[in-house]
Structures are given as structure tokens and as C-alpha cells.
Amino acid sequence: MPADSDRLQRKLAAILYADVAGYSRLTGEDEEGTHRRLSAYLDAIAAAIEGYRGKVLHYAGDAVLADFTTVSDALTCAAAIQEDLKARNQDLADDRKVQFRIGVNLGEVIADRGEIYGDGVNVAARLESLAKPGGICISGTVYDAIGNKLPLDYEFLGEQTVKNIDKPVRAYAARLSSSATLPAPMARVETSRRRGLITGGVVALVLIAIAAIAWLTPWGPTTQRPSKEGTVLSLPDRPSIAVLPFVNLSTDPQQEYFSDGITNDIITDLSKFSSLFVIASNSVFAYKGKAVKIQDVGRDLGVRYVLEGSVQKSGEQVRVNAQLIEATTGRHMWAERYERDLHDLFAVQDNIVQSIVGALAVKVAEVERERVMRKGTANLEAYDYVLRGRAYRSRITRSDNLEARKMFQRAIELDPNYDAAYTGLGWTYRVAVAHGWTEFLDEALQQSLDLAQHALRLQDSADAHHLLGSIYLVRGQYDLASQELGHAIALNPNDSDSLAGLGQVMLYTGKTNEAVRAYETVLRFNPDIDADKLYEFGIAYYLQAQYDKAVNTLERGKAKNPNYAFIHAVLAAAYAQAGRPADAAREAGMVRRLDPFFEVASFGTRFRNPTDQAHIADGLRKAGLK
């Protein structure tokens, strides 16, 4: 028996779980208007919860989890929310109403660090899915506790068998009686806390949507500096370089997208030279806004050279400073200042890239040089909108993805032959699928595919091939995915995202050793690798039965994204296989809290080799998951 101090705290709680009905359909028809209404409705829900003495625990995109001390407060609050939202929807057309389903349960939960999880929460989530839009579904424990205390009518829905719960659950539909009134809430408090919770840690359903599809997307720059784990990175066998984010010297902070865009374009252009080794953008953007020593950057990223610079845009003028430094000695290899008309910006970028190649005495193939010189557009305004679109897309929120789409569409209007604008627009549909922001997955993927193919008809580019490969990965068309990702790497030999995609192909087709080698190479190009790639890398180690390496890799991923339910799942399996049952149980508990709908049988269905899926299922069950 564990000591009292080691036991998890449990309590009896009344749990309210609310989620939007048909949100993806609503956003598909009017994304911006739906988002505005949802934000206002969530604020109203938060105010009602606090007004009825409840506590909002977290948000998961369009879902809310809250707990109450008394079941009467929880059910009164649920009824008050539905009455309020009914009034708010009254003047809207039926197909524009934002309606919530609400589940209420009374049960024992585990309380840990301000969160609750366990069967009590899982039942509430399941009841929510049984409710009608605008309705409430309660458990038998709630019904028994309430009796006739509230002016509500109830309809018995029978014994419901719900996933991950051993015994059937009695369920009732609850609604406010005709002409009845509810007890008034306490004075409502400021609801800005919701916004803080949203940005601080979204969990559950959004993560479920991401993990259930189980594919990678090119996430934008992170803000976390690469970790120093004592590993000394040896220098590559060819000239190696990191391009630090160019500093925005404009008085307008809104110009950050412009300086970041130039940085990314220089990285992309240098990456096209097979004779160079170029660090990926999200690893260098970890240094953005920080005072760093060039020697430290070179050591952390394992490169010999570092490029740094600044950008100042003012009206139709642009000033760019750039200098190339040998990291080991601090010696300046090359420096230049450009003061040009904005229309000369492409020429400035080309000059910087060619100067670096010259300073490093690198021999380049003429085809690579020509590829770098091709810009896709001569329209500076269209280019500016593409930079804005990339900046919005990198933030990975529903509303920012919508804004990114508008930027790319505007770029296409300005230059209908601009391939990067079509590719960028295609990525917005691909990202929407990855995050469950659309009910129409096939249609969105087809739009993304059509845009990528159109971009390739305009110009052969690594990014468009990468997008196509990503789409084929989603569809399980691994041969086509491998072909497209191979094209992307041929055009951009330093493309760590496409290489990670190839690692996925190897992983899901049973070529585990090749997958590990691919991910190890990705990690060298991109030392600040994101949680999604660490997740895949951890699975590859797991399938090799290298459980300690899997644990170390997945723990790194968990540190970057503590709310990624599937990282916790594979980590639980790895701990179980490594003979660490207490750690496995802890991670399994996190899976149940973050993903009430988790099922072992549904996990890993993308693996072509049945023994790989069975191997993971074995570890998950040893960890106590069902």
C-alpha cells in the first residue's frame, strides 16, 4: 500500500462538461462570425459557472470543463446557460445558431494541481455527447441527488453503455419546466480568465482531434531556447550555418512579420544548396528576442558559421544589415549594409545568399543557383501578403489560420501566378484538418491537394511537394507520400520537415530502423525539434524495444507539450515495458484526464504492420489503459 502522502487526492464533485454542437459545420459556412459568437458565448458560460459557485478548470477549443461543490449548483448552472444561449440565438437563423450540449455528473474524481480527472469526468463527457443541441443530459447519480429540488422536468433515457466505463450509466434528459424560474446567480465576475486559460493550456478535444488523425504538420517557430543536455554536436562534413532571426528595427512592432519573413526566405534559399548544412528555422527562432553570444549559438546548434542581421522598413525604403561570423573564433567573414527601394528587396536577398556562398568558398551546381534565383513573383505587395500569411499560420489558432487564408487569397488576387501563395493557402486547409477545425475532412484535403498541384504547375518547389506528401500521409498513400517527400528533399536537401515526413512513412510501413535514422538526422538539422516529431521518434524507439530511449525522447516531447494526450499514452506504454509500473500508472492517469475517449483498440491503426500495433497495445494495457 502506498504511504498516505503518496496517495492521489480524491473528492466527490459535480462535473459540468459543455461542448458546441456542429461547430465545424458552422465555421465552414461562416468561420469569422461563428468564432465571434463562440467567444462571447464562452464568456457568458464562464460567468454563469462562477456565478453559481463553480470553477472553470480548462477549455479545449470549443469545450468547457467545470466542477461544483454541490450538484444543485451544477445543474442550475447548466439550465441557466441553456436558457441564456437560447435567448442569444433567438434572432439567428437555425443554421447559424451556436448551440451547446451539456453533460452533468456527480462522481468521485482525482484532484491534482488544480485539475480533475478520472471516471467522474469521463462520464460527464460521455453524457454531453448524448444530449441534444441546446439540451442537458445528467447521470442517475445527479437525478437521485436532486430529487424535486429544482424546477426541472426529466426524461429517462435508459441505461447507456459508454466507452471506458465498466457499468452502464443511467441517463436523463433535463429541461427547465414551463414558466419556471431559476435561482439568481451571484454577481458575475470578470471573465478574462477564460482567455488566459485558453492560451495557457488547451487540452482534451483539440488534442484528441490532432492525435486521432496522427500526422505531422509544419508547426511555426517556438519560443523555447534549445536545451543544453551536455551533448556536444560534432560539426558536419560541409560548411554549416545558422541564420539568426533578423532584428526588426522599425518603430512599428507590427513589422515583425516582415523581418521574420526575410529571415525564413534566406534560410530557405541557403537550404537549397546541397553543399551547405543549414539549421532549421524553428531552432534558430528559439533565439528570437534574446541577447546571445555567437559562440554559444555555434556550440548549441553544432555549426561553424552564424549569420545575423537587421531589417528596417520605412515607407518604400528598406535597410538591411547582415554579417557572417565564424562562431568558433568570432571572426567576421563578411558584412554588408543595403539601403534600397523596397522593390529591390529580392535583389538584396539574392546578394546576401550569393555573398555567403562566396565567403564560404562553396561550390554550387548551376541548377541550384538558378533555383535560388527564382522568386515566383515580381509583385512586392503579393510577396508582403505571403509573409503576413505565413506569420498568421505559424500561430496555430483557428482565427489566425482564417486570417492567414485571407492573406494568401489576397496575394493570389494580386498575382494569380504566384506559386507560394497557392501553397500557403493549401497549408491553411491542411492545418485546419490537423486541428479538427472542419467536419469536411475529405473536402478540405482535396482543396489542399488541388492548391499544391496548381502551385507545382506554376513552379517546382520543395514546399508544394512537402504539402502533397503530407496529404498523402494522411490518406495512408505511403508510396505517393514517399515520392513527393523525396522530391521535396531533392529540391531542399536541408528540409528537416520533409525528412521527418519520410521518417513517418518508414515508421508506419514497418521500417523502424530507417525511421530512427531519419529522425536522428532531423534532430541534427533541427536541435529544437517540436513535440510532434519527438512523439513519432519516441514510437520508433519503442518499436525497436529501446524503451529507455523511448522514455527519454517522449519526456522531452511532454516537456514541450504537457497536454498532448498521445505522448502520455506511448510514454505510459514505454514505462510499463521498462518495468516502471508507478510511472506507467501516472502517465495512464494523464491520458484518462486529457482524453476521456481514449481506446487502446483504436490506437495505432495507421501501422501497416499488425505486429507494430499489437506491440504498442501490449504496453498500453500493461499500463492499465483499456
Q: How confident is the model at residue 385 (pLDDT cuts 50, 70, 90)?
A: very high
CATH 3.30.70.1230 in the chain, residues?
A: 10-181+190-202
Domain 10-181+190-202 is in which class?
alpha beta
* Residue 164: per-residue pLDDT: 65
User: Residue 112: what pLDDT?
Assistant: 66
Q: How far apart are CA 381 and CA 254, in angstroms?
A: 16
Angle (CA) 92 94 97, round 5°: 60
Q: What residue ranges of the chain are covered by domains with CATH 3.40.50.10610?
A: 240-375
User: Which tens digit of pLDDT belongs to each residue from 77-109?
Assistant: 999 999 999 998 888 888 788 899 999 999 888
Confidence class of residue 367 from pLDDT cuts 50, 70 and 90? low
H-helix or E-strand spanning residue 126? helix 119-130
pTM of the model: 0.61
How many C-beta atoms lie closer than 10 Å to residue 273's C-beta?
Answer: 26
- pLDDT (tens digit, 9 = 90+) per residue, 58-72? 766 568 889 998 999
Which whole-number Å values give the CA distances from 498 to 219, 463, 501, in the listed order? 13, 9, 5
| Cα 329 to Cα 37, 239, 291, 335, 378, distances in angstroms | 57, 15, 18, 16, 39
> What is the b/e burial string over 545-575, where b = at least 16 CB atoms within 10 angstroms of the residue's CB?
ebbebbbebbbbbbebbebbbbbbbbbbbbb
Give domain 413-622's CATH superfamily.
Tetratricopeptide repeat domain (1.25.40.10)
In a 13 Å sphere around the CA of 512, the CA atoms on its Cβ side amount to: 17
pLDDT of residue 534: 93
Query: In the predicted model, is pLDDT for residue 433 greater than 80?
Result: yes
Average pLDDT of span 499-520? 91
Q: Name the region of 63 (left: φ>0; alpha: ψ -120 to 50; beta: rest).
A: beta
**pLDDT tens per residue, range 108-151:** 887 765 677 778 888 898 899 899 999 999 999 999 888 888 88
pLDDT digits 0-9 by tens, 266-311: 998 888 888 888 998 889 998 988 888 999 999 999 999 999 989 9
pLDDT band at 368 (very low <50, low <70, confident <90, very high): low
Give the fold, CATH level 3, of 240-375: Rossmann fold (3.40.50)
3-state helix, strand, coil split of the chain in percent (to 5) is 55, 15, 30
DSSP assignment of 36-100, as one string?
A: HHHHHHHHHHHHHHHHTTEEEEEEETTEEEEEESSHHHHHHHHHHHHHHHHHHHTTS-GGG---E
The residues of the chain that CATH labels 1.25.40.10 are 413-622
Q: What single-letter DSSP state applies at residue 131?
A: S
- Give the model's pLDDT for residue 149: 84
Half-sphere CA count of 477, side-chain side, radius 13 A: 11
Q: Quick one: CA dihedral 518, 522, 527, 531, positive or negative?
A: negative
